[in-house]
Structure 1
């Protein structure tokens, strides 16, 4: 394996450039990747435990949400017994992996990022089929995965080098140092909505920090997670460091969360599941000698505030992009907007017009709007749309869309009260609620009236109002005069307040500290 590091100085991190699919050569490259990946669909995927590939009778069947007749993969499902086998394998691997120098561990991530970049469109194509992403959304997901690996590799090298970045008060006659050592075996439970980026980011942050990982992918998108696991095996990651164990949350997830040898759980998903993990992990199991660490990102009810001085065209475009990008299936999605009454009607009209212009169709053909994730989400979102019809004025969408998949019309309700269910509850689909405020302060108060606190945006031209918003809008990621989605690794460390999770700030300088523990040493000289 070749390491791509320089321990005397690392080149500055730069985000992966997005591909412009309007260029003929890029369009053809994606079409070729779609053809190549389609030929692999329907295969059997085993568990990966250490060096073993294990096939089970119990399966997770992944289907294309945009064409429900198409099977993406049949994936072996772990039992408690196999989860225990994976735990023992990871515990054994940890004893050697924790001793591998940080720069060498980082080298694996640099190599994996290099290979993923070479096969970028193939990873994106799998997400188009399995997750229902359009080309730009899939491309952004893959680019973020590459960014995470390169960023965390550089961060691990930084943490492992001299004490210059963590100066200690010197004591005469002593050599005192602070180092960051790994925790142990962690359970990584990524979401289906960013099935590559967040999966890769969570897993590689733990791995590069010196931990070993039990990866339980989302049941909706196991095939793309398996592509990542195969990539890590290809670059020579030692066996047992990353173990692939798809399975039931109620069975495998709960078993590993309560396991006495589990050192940490890294989770991204719903508030309900996150709180359950937090509760189960808080109980001390027989033989457990540590407090388990929880890293949780649990969603949001994000929104945009628009005052009367704002660029209304730009604000309306941002509202629509934030609400309906990837069918609103982002924890950062702007599913609410509060608009000052003097410009309310104008913004509502612009939002309705822009929403109605969105085309719906299969993602292989790169439509702006595709299917939602699965049947459960489809039915839940349609139920919320019916609730919304009693809570607001329907101005766009309002029901199912045509197609052999889980297609729903982008839906907008106006004149919605801040306490309405569609203003308060996370729908995780293409549903937007608009509300009116007397002024920008009331609009910000309405925005803050939620149990979540992940992302938000404020549109205004007045600096004093912007200053007020920066101070008073309570969320982990706040954007001014731009959409509330689209955080970039290294530029916008991502994580939220309140029921949005532990504010872990993925893609930021503090993130790897969550997978390490600080050890101080002092030596008499």
Structure 2
């Protein structure tokens, strides 16, 4: 029905035509700074006095835009609207639901530079990272549309003479989507369209630091033909609106990506059965990571250096998959460390207005303060060999930082920093390296750089993470290629962008007919 799924290509900004197109998009987006975006409940655009203001983290004097801020009264109205829309949306042909995603993907593809430029401004993403973020969002729409077409057939079960049996999936109801700011387009899109295409209606509460790109995407869904009430846009505070949505007896599915503390709290709240609630809620939570790059003694050193730098400092380390721990075999520790320090000191840091900036700002003042506090802790726990400085006078910039010779139980080896900081620790042998890698409460991603096949086989079974990579960095999972999700306190291992993901948003039903 649709052409076979193909991963959306990344943009090559060394091509002059592409560079100029991005520069023009940045100008066009800047011309829209300060625009206001309304809430959407059903077909009603709602303006409230209280606003959420989006600030450029590269230049905190610039206001990207504002969105109206929902309260509990509006949240209640949105829930009722979504609940009513579900009564018809759940019976809409899955092919038509999938077609909406395909049309939305086509719209975003035509406006790819605009959306990328929006992420540069609102999230402080360098061009390459912004482009990959938008490409991943397109991938989610294209992939989940095709997955829904497969899933609508159900699964084969046995029938007997005089009996016909069927096994298929039905939607769960009203879904609450609470995405993060770090992949402000990709994860926001993926966690919104997955419940939509499976027949659920959605209450989208975007991250408060990146609401503008979410507002723009809701407009795309409307242009793609989403019926009234199926998508509702209700930015608001977590304490007032987020908890209300999670607790409400008429919400059936909670999908959250963010910190461990918030994720575990939402998981607990959703488990409580409220008055007049007649179902148990489905919960998908993807939380943090404290991810390790292991370098074996026979590793290709150049690959190891590239893997560590890319894993640690891509998007200023603001990824749950970021490699914030480098565990190096003692025999090659000094060589790897020296080369990583050299490469790190060559990285460009600044406002990502050109393609040449490798690292932009961190997202806001709270993140800046938290990361710089951890750097001070790291100076006490190890040896500062690169970076360690920040400047928040104009934007929230922190130099890529390396702390060497760290004890495996040190705080900067155990706690998620979510910034451009990597800790180096020595391992006496490969078994010791695996032991260190597994000593975290998280289990999201990991990388092993080795040419030893026995060690690859051992790590495959014993490195306890949801996404394990050999001889490459530990970030950058691609939809349909590396389904993404983690173990332990990294979440429910939902494997976004994989063949099992959509079924998590549905209920299996068995129908047996005798004749």
TM-score by length of 1: 0.97
Alpha-carbon distance between aligned partners in 2 of 1:401 and 1:485, rounded to the nearest angstrom? 26
Alpha-carbon distance between aligned partners in 1 of 2:163 and 2:170, rounded to the nearest angstrom? 21
Which of 176, 181, 190 is matched with 2:179 structurally? 190
Alpha-carbon distance between aligned partners in 1 of 2:391 and 2:404, rounded to the nearest angstrom? 21
Alpha-carbon distance between aligned partners in 1 of 2:141 and 2:93, rounded to the nearest angstrom? 17
Alpha-carbon distance between aligned partners in 1 of 2:269 and 2:500, rounded to the nearest angstrom? 26
Which of 185, 188, 213 is matched with 1:224 structurally? 213
- The answer to whether the Cα contact below 8 Å between 1:361 and 1:403 also exists between their aligned partners in 2 is no
2:75 aligns with: 83
Question: Match of 2:97, SS?
Answer: helix
- In the alignment, structure 1 residue 328 sits paired with structure 2 residue 320: no
Question: Match of 2:159, SS?
Answer: coil
1:3 aligns with: none
- The answer to whether the Cα contact below 8 Å between 1:306 and 1:340 also exists between their aligned partners in 2 is yes
Question: Match of 1:500, SS?
Answer: coil
Task: Quote how far apart the aligned CAs of 1:401 are.
Answer: 3.9
1:48 aligns with: 40
1:391 aligns with: 381
Which of 439, 446, 452 is matched with 1:456 structurally? 446
Question: Match of 1:518, SS?
Answer: strand
Alpha-carbon distance between aligned partners in 2 of 1:381 and 1:50, rounded to the nearest angstrom? 40
Over the residues paired in the alignment, what is the CA RMSD in angstroms?
Answer: 0.9
- The answer to whether the Cα contact below 8 Å between 1:399 and 1:409 also exists between their aligned partners in 2 is yes
- In the alignment, structure 1 residue 37 sits paired with structure 2 residue 29: yes
- In the alignment, structure 1 residue 429 sits paired with structure 2 residue 404: no
Task: Quote how far apart the aligned CAs of 1:399 are.
Answer: 1.6
Alpha-carbon distance between aligned partners in 1 of 2:513 and 2:344, rounded to the nearest angstrom? 65
Alpha-carbon distance between aligned partners in 1 of 2:184 and 2:36, rounded to the nearest angstrom? 19
Task: Quote how far apart the aligned CAs of 1:171 are.
Answer: 1.6
Question: Match of 1:72, SS?
Answer: strand
Question: Match of 1:470, SS?
Answer: helix
Alpha-carbon distance between aligned partners in 2 of 1:251 and 1:519, rounded to the nearest angstrom? 35
Question: Match of 1:194, SS?
Answer: coil
| CA shift digits 1:297-322 (9 cap, x unpaired) | 00100010001100011101110100
- In the alignment, structure 1 residue 469 sits paired with structure 2 residue 465: no
2:371 aligns with: 381
Structure 2 residue ranges without an equivalent (≥5): none
Matches within 5 A, 1:347-366: 347-366=336-355
1:370 aligns with: 360
- In the alignment, structure 1 residue 154 sits paired with structure 2 residue 143: no
Alpha-carbon distance between aligned partners in 2 of 1:133 and 1:144, rounded to the nearest angstrom? 14
Alpha-carbon distance between aligned partners in 1 of 2:479 and 2:392, rounded to the nearest angstrom? 36
2:86 aligns with: 94
Task: Quote how far apart the aligned CAs of 1:403 are.
Answer: 6.1
| CA shift digits 1:215-250 (9 cap, x unpaired) | 000001000101100101111210110000000000
- The answer to whether the Cα contact below 8 Å between 1:66 and 1:403 also exists between their aligned partners in 2 is no
Alpha-carbon distance between aligned partners in 1 of 2:389 and 2:376, rounded to the nearest angstrom? 8
Alpha-carbon distance between aligned partners in 2 of 1:312 and 1:439, rounded to the nearest angstrom? 17
- In the alignment, structure 1 residue 504 sits paired with structure 2 residue 504: no
Alpha-carbon distance between aligned partners in 1 of 2:135 and 2:293, rounded to the nearest angstrom? 26
Task: Write out the 4+ residue segments of structure 1 that deviate beyond 2 Å after TM superposition.
Answer: none
- In the alignment, structure 1 residue 486 sits paired with structure 2 residue 485: no
**Greater alpha carbon shift after TM alignment, 168-177 vs 119-128:** 168-177
| CA shift digits 1:36-82 (9 cap, x unpaired) | 11111111111111111111111111100000110011211000000
Alpha-carbon distance between aligned partners in 1 of 2:118 and 2:252, rounded to the nearest angstrom? 32
- In the alignment, structure 1 residue 289 sits paired with structure 2 residue 278: yes
- The answer to whether the Cα contact below 8 Å between 1:397 and 1:412 also exists between their aligned partners in 2 is yes
Which of 154, 167, 170 is matched with 2:159 structurally? 170
| CA shift digits 1:330-356 (9 cap, x unpaired) | 000000010000100000101111111
TM-score by length of 2: 0.99
Alpha-carbon distance between aligned partners in 1 of 2:396 and 2:465, rounded to the nearest angstrom? 31
Alpha-carbon distance between aligned partners in 1 of 2:191 and 2:213, rounded to the nearest angstrom? 15
Task: Quote how far apart the aligned CAs of 1:170 are.
Answer: 2.1
Alpha-carbon distance between aligned partners in 2 of 1:70 and 1:472, rounded to the nearest angstrom? 48
| CA shift digits 1:86-111 (9 cap, x unpaired) | 00110011011011010010000000
- The answer to whether the Cα contact below 8 Å between 1:58 and 1:77 also exists between their aligned partners in 2 is yes
Alpha-carbon distance between aligned partners in 1 of 2:160 and 2:188, rounded to the nearest angstrom? 43
Task: Quote how far apart the aligned CAs of 1:402 are.
Answer: 7.2
Structure 1 residue ranges without an equivalent (≥5): 1-5
Question: Match of 1:243, SS?
Answer: strand
- The answer to whether the Cα contact below 8 Å between 1:394 and 1:413 also exists between their aligned partners in 2 is yes
In the comparison of the two structures, how many residue pairs are matched?
Answer: 514
Which of 131, 137, 140 is matched with 2:129 structurally? 137
- In the alignment, structure 1 residue 418 sits paired with structure 2 residue 408: yes
Change in CA separation of 1:402 and 1:92 when aligned onto 2, cut-off 3 Å: closer
Alpha-carbon distance between aligned partners in 1 of 2:392 and 2:193, rounded to the nearest angstrom? 39
- In the alignment, structure 1 residue 280 sits paired with structure 2 residue 269: yes
Alpha-carbon distance between aligned partners in 2 of 1:320 and 1:337, rounded to the nearest angstrom? 10
Alpha-carbon distance between aligned partners in 1 of 2:122 and 2:146, rounded to the nearest angstrom? 31
Alpha-carbon distance between aligned partners in 1 of 2:142 and 2:133, rounded to the nearest angstrom? 15
Question: Match of 1:199, SS?
Answer: helix
- The answer to whether the Cα contact below 8 Å between 1:297 and 1:496 also exists between their aligned partners in 2 is yes
2:245 aligns with: 256
Alpha-carbon distance between aligned partners in 1 of 2:55 and 2:265, rounded to the nearest angstrom? 28
